[in-house]
Structure 1
Protein backbone atom coordinates (compact mmCIF):
# COMPACT_ATOMS: atom_id res chain seq x y z
CA UNK A 1 0.00 0.00 0.00
CA UNK A 2 1.32 3.46 -0.90
CA UNK A 3 1.89 5.92 1.91
CA UNK A 4 0.18 9.26 1.59
CA UNK A 5 1.89 12.21 3.22
CA UNK A 6 -0.35 14.51 5.26
CA UNK A 7 1.46 17.78 5.97
CA UNK A 8 0.22 20.10 8.69
CA UNK A 9 0.68 23.75 7.74
CA UNK A 10 1.13 26.57 10.24
CA UNK A 11 1.86 30.17 9.31
CA UNK A 12 3.27 32.37 12.06
CA UNK A 13 1.83 35.35 10.12
CA UNK A 14 -1.76 34.18 10.70
CA UNK A 15 -3.71 33.72 13.95
CA UNK A 16 -3.23 30.44 15.77
CA UNK A 17 -6.27 28.15 15.75
CA UNK A 18 -8.64 28.92 18.60
CA UNK A 19 -9.81 25.30 18.89
CA UNK A 20 -8.46 21.79 18.14
CA UNK A 21 -7.79 22.16 14.40
CA UNK A 22 -4.90 23.18 12.14
CA UNK A 23 -4.69 26.19 9.85
CA UNK A 24 -4.27 23.92 6.84
CA UNK A 25 -3.50 20.37 5.75
CA UNK A 26 -1.76 19.45 2.49
CA UNK A 27 -2.33 16.02 0.95
CA UNK A 28 -0.54 15.41 -2.34
CA UNK A 29 -0.90 18.82 -4.03
CA UNK A 30 -4.24 19.68 -2.46
CA UNK A 31 -4.33 22.36 0.24
CA UNK A 32 -7.30 22.39 2.63
CA UNK A 33 -7.63 25.51 4.79
CA UNK A 34 -9.81 25.50 7.86
CA UNK A 35 -12.33 28.30 8.18
CA UNK A 36 -10.52 31.63 8.53
CA UNK A 37 -11.87 34.60 10.47
CA UNK A 38 -10.88 38.25 10.30
CA UNK A 39 -8.66 38.01 13.37
CA UNK A 40 -5.52 39.88 14.28
CA UNK A 41 -2.74 37.37 15.02
CA UNK A 42 -1.28 39.48 17.82
CA UNK A 43 -4.46 40.12 19.80
CA UNK A 44 -6.28 36.92 18.74
CA UNK A 45 -9.42 39.06 18.46
CA UNK A 46 -11.56 40.06 15.51
CA UNK A 47 -10.36 43.25 13.87
CA UNK A 48 -12.56 46.28 14.41
CA UNK A 49 -14.52 47.82 11.56
CA UNK A 50 -17.25 45.30 10.84
CA UNK A 51 -17.69 43.23 7.69
CA UNK A 52 -15.26 45.25 5.54
CA UNK A 53 -12.35 45.02 7.98
CA UNK A 54 -13.05 41.38 8.88
CA UNK A 55 -13.28 40.33 5.23
CA UNK A 56 -10.04 42.05 4.30
CA UNK A 57 -8.24 40.55 7.33
CA UNK A 58 -9.61 37.05 6.70
CA UNK A 59 -8.38 37.21 3.10
CA UNK A 60 -4.95 38.45 4.23
CA UNK A 61 -4.76 35.57 6.73
CA UNK A 62 -5.71 33.16 3.95
CA UNK A 63 -2.84 34.51 1.85
CA UNK A 64 -0.35 33.89 4.65
CA UNK A 65 -1.54 30.31 5.10
CA UNK A 66 -1.54 29.64 1.36
CA UNK A 67 2.02 30.97 1.15
CA UNK A 68 3.13 28.65 3.97
CA UNK A 69 1.58 25.74 2.05
CA UNK A 70 3.40 26.61 -1.19
CA UNK A 71 0.25 27.98 -2.80
CA UNK A 72 -1.33 31.33 -3.61
CA UNK A 73 -4.64 33.05 -4.34
CA UNK A 74 -4.20 32.10 -8.01
CA UNK A 75 -4.15 28.41 -7.04
CA UNK A 76 -7.42 28.48 -5.08
CA UNK A 77 -9.96 26.17 -6.66
CA UNK A 78 -12.89 26.47 -4.20
CA UNK A 79 -13.98 28.90 -1.48
CA UNK A 80 -16.85 28.60 0.93
CA UNK A 81 -17.89 31.96 2.36
CA UNK A 82 -20.09 31.95 5.45
CA UNK A 83 -21.76 35.21 6.40
CA UNK A 84 -23.50 36.32 9.54
CA UNK A 85 -25.79 38.42 7.29
CA UNK A 86 -26.35 37.70 3.60
CA UNK A 87 -26.95 41.43 3.08
CA UNK A 88 -23.15 41.76 3.25
CA UNK A 89 -22.79 39.73 0.03
CA UNK A 90 -22.07 42.76 -2.20
CA UNK A 91 -19.59 44.29 0.24
CA UNK A 92 -17.74 40.99 0.52
CA UNK A 93 -17.60 40.64 -3.28
CA UNK A 94 -16.02 44.10 -3.63
CA UNK A 95 -13.22 43.19 -1.22
CA UNK A 96 -12.94 39.62 -2.57
CA UNK A 97 -12.04 41.03 -6.01
CA UNK A 98 -9.01 42.80 -4.47
CA UNK A 99 -7.51 39.36 -3.73
CA UNK A 100 -8.99 37.20 -6.52
CA UNK A 101 -8.48 39.22 -9.68
CA UNK A 102 -9.19 36.81 -12.55
CA UNK A 103 -9.95 33.17 -13.27
CA UNK A 104 -12.02 33.17 -10.10
CA UNK A 105 -12.28 29.97 -8.06
CA UNK A 106 -15.53 28.11 -7.63
CA UNK A 107 -17.39 29.47 -4.63
CA UNK A 108 -20.37 29.00 -2.36
CA UNK A 109 -21.68 31.76 -0.12
CA UNK A 110 -24.44 31.55 2.43
CA UNK A 111 -25.75 33.02 5.64
CA UNK A 112 -25.26 30.88 8.74
CA UNK A 113 -26.91 30.92 12.15
CA UNK A 114 -23.86 32.11 14.06
CA UNK A 115 -20.10 32.22 13.52
CA UNK A 116 -17.31 31.65 16.07
CA UNK A 117 -16.40 34.65 18.25
CA UNK A 118 -19.37 36.60 16.88
CA UNK A 119 -17.60 37.02 13.53
CA UNK A 120 -19.31 38.50 10.49
CA UNK A 121 -17.50 36.22 8.02
CA UNK A 122 -15.61 32.93 7.85
CA UNK A 123 -13.94 31.60 4.69
CA UNK A 124 -12.84 28.03 3.92
CA UNK A 125 -10.44 27.36 1.05
CA UNK A 126 -9.33 24.45 -1.10
CA UNK A 127 -6.29 25.12 -3.28
CA UNK A 128 -3.47 23.34 -5.02
CA UNK A 129 0.21 23.72 -4.23
CA UNK A 130 2.93 24.17 -6.82
CA UNK A 131 2.70 25.50 -10.35
CA UNK A 132 -0.89 25.29 -11.50
CA UNK A 133 -1.80 26.09 -15.09
CA UNK A 134 -5.26 27.45 -15.80
CA UNK A 135 -7.08 26.67 -19.00
CA UNK A 136 -10.60 27.82 -19.71
CA UNK A 137 -13.12 25.60 -21.45
CA UNK A 138 -16.21 27.08 -23.03
CA UNK A 139 -18.34 24.38 -24.56
Structure 2
Protein backbone atom coordinates (compact mmCIF):
# COMPACT_ATOMS: atom_id res chain seq x y z
CA UNK A 1 0.00 0.00 0.00
CA UNK A 2 1.29 3.49 -0.74
CA UNK A 3 1.72 5.94 2.14
CA UNK A 4 -1.47 7.73 3.22
CA UNK A 5 -1.73 11.34 4.36
CA UNK A 6 -3.46 12.05 7.68
CA UNK A 7 -5.56 15.22 7.93
CA UNK A 8 -7.46 16.39 11.02
CA UNK A 9 -8.96 19.65 12.24
CA UNK A 10 -8.10 18.56 15.80
CA UNK A 11 -4.42 19.48 15.28
CA UNK A 12 -2.99 22.67 13.78
CA UNK A 13 -3.02 22.80 9.98
CA UNK A 14 -0.64 24.72 7.80
CA UNK A 15 -0.22 25.82 4.21
CA UNK A 16 3.37 24.58 4.29
CA UNK A 17 4.28 21.63 2.05
CA UNK A 18 4.07 18.79 4.57
CA UNK A 19 1.46 16.45 6.02
CA UNK A 20 0.20 16.43 9.59
CA UNK A 21 1.03 12.75 9.53
CA UNK A 22 1.79 9.98 7.07
CA UNK A 23 0.86 6.32 7.53
CA UNK A 24 3.23 3.82 5.94
CA UNK A 25 2.17 0.26 6.68
CA UNK A 26 1.58 -0.02 10.44
CA UNK A 27 3.69 3.05 11.20
CA UNK A 28 2.54 6.65 11.54
CA UNK A 29 5.01 9.50 11.22
CA UNK A 30 3.69 12.66 12.88
CA UNK A 31 5.07 16.05 11.87
CA UNK A 32 6.48 18.43 14.44
CA UNK A 33 3.99 20.40 16.51
CA UNK A 34 4.39 23.37 18.76
CA UNK A 35 1.94 24.56 21.42
CA UNK A 36 -0.56 25.86 18.88
CA UNK A 37 -4.33 25.80 19.38
CA UNK A 38 -5.86 24.11 16.32
CA UNK A 39 -8.96 26.32 16.48
CA UNK A 40 -7.17 29.66 16.49
CA UNK A 41 -3.84 28.76 14.87
CA UNK A 42 -2.14 30.73 17.65
CA UNK A 43 0.36 29.71 20.31
CA UNK A 44 -1.42 29.08 23.61
CA UNK A 45 -0.81 31.21 26.66
CA UNK A 46 0.70 29.49 29.63
CA UNK A 47 3.83 28.11 31.17
CA UNK A 48 6.07 25.48 29.60
CA UNK A 49 4.06 22.68 31.21
CA UNK A 50 0.82 23.91 29.60
CA UNK A 51 2.62 24.31 26.31
CA UNK A 52 4.00 20.76 26.55
CA UNK A 53 0.47 19.46 27.17
CA UNK A 54 -0.83 21.29 24.08
CA UNK A 55 1.96 19.82 21.94
CA UNK A 56 1.10 16.32 23.15
CA UNK A 57 -2.61 16.95 22.55
CA UNK A 58 -1.79 17.89 18.95
CA UNK A 59 0.23 14.72 18.43
CA UNK A 60 -2.47 12.58 20.07
CA UNK A 61 -5.07 14.08 17.70
CA UNK A 62 -3.09 13.04 14.63
CA UNK A 63 -2.54 9.53 16.01
CA UNK A 64 -6.26 9.20 16.77
CA UNK A 65 -7.22 10.43 13.31
CA UNK A 66 -4.97 7.74 11.82
CA UNK A 67 -6.92 5.09 13.74
CA UNK A 68 -4.60 4.82 16.71
CA UNK A 69 -5.15 5.16 20.42
CA UNK A 70 -3.63 8.61 20.93
CA UNK A 71 -0.39 8.77 22.84
CA UNK A 72 -0.69 5.11 23.88
CA UNK A 73 0.48 4.16 20.38
CA UNK A 74 3.50 6.49 20.36
CA UNK A 75 6.77 4.56 20.20
CA UNK A 76 9.28 7.42 19.65
CA UNK A 77 9.17 11.16 20.22
CA UNK A 78 11.70 13.87 19.62
CA UNK A 79 11.45 16.90 21.89
CA UNK A 80 12.93 20.22 20.77
CA UNK A 81 13.32 23.00 23.36
CA UNK A 82 14.80 26.45 22.89
CA UNK A 83 16.07 26.56 26.48
CA UNK A 84 17.44 23.45 28.15
CA UNK A 85 16.70 25.11 31.49
CA UNK A 86 13.06 24.13 30.73
CA UNK A 87 14.04 20.45 30.50
CA UNK A 88 12.87 19.34 33.96
CA UNK A 89 9.53 21.12 33.67
CA UNK A 90 8.92 19.74 30.18
CA UNK A 91 9.92 16.30 31.47
CA UNK A 92 7.39 16.48 34.33
CA UNK A 93 4.51 17.44 32.04
CA UNK A 94 5.62 14.88 29.44
CA UNK A 95 5.99 12.07 32.00
CA UNK A 96 2.50 12.66 33.36
CA UNK A 97 1.04 11.73 29.96
CA UNK A 98 2.54 8.25 29.67
CA UNK A 99 1.91 5.07 31.65
CA UNK A 100 3.92 1.87 32.00
CA UNK A 101 5.71 1.92 28.63
CA UNK A 102 6.68 5.47 27.74
CA UNK A 103 7.96 5.91 24.19
CA UNK A 104 11.64 6.13 23.36
CA UNK A 105 12.69 9.77 23.26
CA UNK A 106 15.33 12.27 22.28
CA UNK A 107 15.46 15.82 23.66
CA UNK A 108 17.58 18.49 22.03
CA UNK A 109 18.08 22.19 22.56
CA UNK A 110 17.71 24.24 19.39
CA UNK A 111 18.42 27.88 18.64
CA UNK A 112 14.96 28.65 17.34
CA UNK A 113 11.67 26.98 16.39
CA UNK A 114 9.03 28.06 13.86
CA UNK A 115 6.77 30.71 15.31
CA UNK A 116 9.36 31.28 18.04
CA UNK A 117 7.66 28.69 20.25
CA UNK A 118 9.62 27.22 23.17
CA UNK A 119 8.83 23.52 22.64
CA UNK A 120 8.04 21.32 19.67
CA UNK A 121 7.75 17.55 19.24
CA UNK A 122 7.40 15.04 16.46
CA UNK A 123 6.44 11.40 16.85
CA UNK A 124 6.37 7.92 15.44
CA UNK A 125 3.45 5.68 16.36
CA UNK A 126 2.75 2.00 15.78
CA UNK A 127 -0.79 1.34 14.55
CA UNK A 128 -0.61 -2.45 14.26
In the superposition, the TM-score normalised over structure 2's length comes to: 0.93
1:104-138 Cα distance to aligned partner (Å, 9 max, x none): 111000100100001000101001113xxxxxxxx
Q: Distance in 1 between matches of 2:74 and 2:108?
A: 19
Q: Which entry has the higher C-alpha Rg, 1 or 2?
A: 1
1:53-91 Cα distance to aligned partner (Å, 9 max, x none): 211111111111110011231221110000010111111
1:44 pairs with 23, 41, 44, which one? 41
Shift of the alpha carbon at 1:97? 1.7
Question: 5+ residue gaps in structure 1?
Answer: 131-139
2:126 is the counterpart of 1:119: no
Question: 5+ residue gaps in structure 2?
Answer: none
Q: Pairwise CA RMSD of aligned residues?
A: 1.2
Shift of the alpha carbon at 1:30? 0.5
Q: State the match for 2:93 in structure 1.
A: 95
For the residue of structure 1 that corresponds to 2:22, the secondary structure is strand
Shift of the alpha carbon at 1:18? 4.9
1:58–1:18: structure 2 CA closer, same or farther, 3 Å change rule?
farther
The number of equivalent residue pairs is 127
In the superposition, the TM-score normalised over structure 1's length comes to: 0.86
For the residue of structure 1 that corresponds to 2:112, the secondary structure is coil
Runs of 4+ aligned structure 1 residues displaced above 3 Å come to: none
2:27 is the counterpart of 1:30: yes
Are the counterparts in 2 of residues 50 and 120 from structure 1 also a CA contact under 8 Å? no
